[in-house]
A and B are shown apart, each in its own frame.
Chain A
Amino acid sequence: GQNIDQPTEMTATEGAIVQINCTYQTSGFNGLFWYQQHAGEAPTFLSYNVLDGLEEKGRFSSFLSRSKGYSYLLLKELQMKDSASYLCAINTGGFKTIFGAGTRLFVKA
Chain B
Amino acid sequence: ETGVTQSPTHLIKTRGQQVTLRCSSQSGHNTVSWYQQALGQGPQFIFQYYREEENGRGNFPPRFSGLQFPNYSSELNVNALELDDSALYLCASSSLTSGRRDTQYFGPGTRLTVL
**B40 CB–A CB distance under 8 Å:** yes
**A101 CB–B CB distance under 8 Å:** yes
Known A-B contacts A42-B109, A95-B50, A96-B45; the reply to A101 vs B40 at CB < 8 A is yes
Looking at A31, A91, A97, A98, the one whose CB has the most chain B CB atoms below 10 A away is A97
Name B4's closest neighbour in chain A (CB-CB).
A42
**Cα–Cα, bound, A96→B34 (Å):** 10
- Tally of chain B residues near chain A (CB < 8 A): 26
**A24 CB–B CB distance under 8 Å:** no
**B65 CB–A CB distance under 8 Å:** no
Looking at A30, A95, A96, the one whose CB has the most chain B CB atoms below 10 A away is A95
Chain A residues in 8 Å Cβ range of B31: 95
Name B47's closest neighbour in chain A (CB-CB).
A96
Contact code string B29-43 (vs A, CB < 8 Å = 1, else 0): 001010100001111
**B104 CB–A CB distance under 8 Å:** yes
B41, B50, B90, B102: the one within 8 Å of A43 (CB): B90
User: Least Cβ distance of B33 to chain A in Å?
Assistant: 6
Q: Which of A11-66 contact B (CB under 8 A)?
A: 30-31, 33, 35, 41-45, 48
**Cα–Cα, bound, A80→B100 (Å):** 29
Contact code string A56-95 (vs B, CB < 8 Å = 1, else 0): 0000000000000000000000000000000101010011
User: Contact: B102 with A30, CB < 8 Å?
Assistant: yes
Chain A residues in 8 Å Cβ range of B33: 95-97
User: Contact: A95 with B107, CB < 8 Å?
Assistant: no
Chain B residues in 8 Å Cβ range of A91: 102
Q: Which of B1-51 contact A (CB under 8 A)?
A: 2, 31, 33, 35, 40-45, 48, 50
- Write 6 A-B pairs (CB below 8 A) sorted by A numbering: A33-B104, A95-B102, A95-B104, A96-B45, A97-B33, A102-B42
Extra A-B contacts (13), CB below 8 Å, given A44-B106, A97-B33: A31-B102, A35-B106, A48-B103, A87-B42, A94-B48, A94-B55, A95-B33, A96-B33, A96-B56, A99-B44, A99-B45, A100-B42, A101-B42
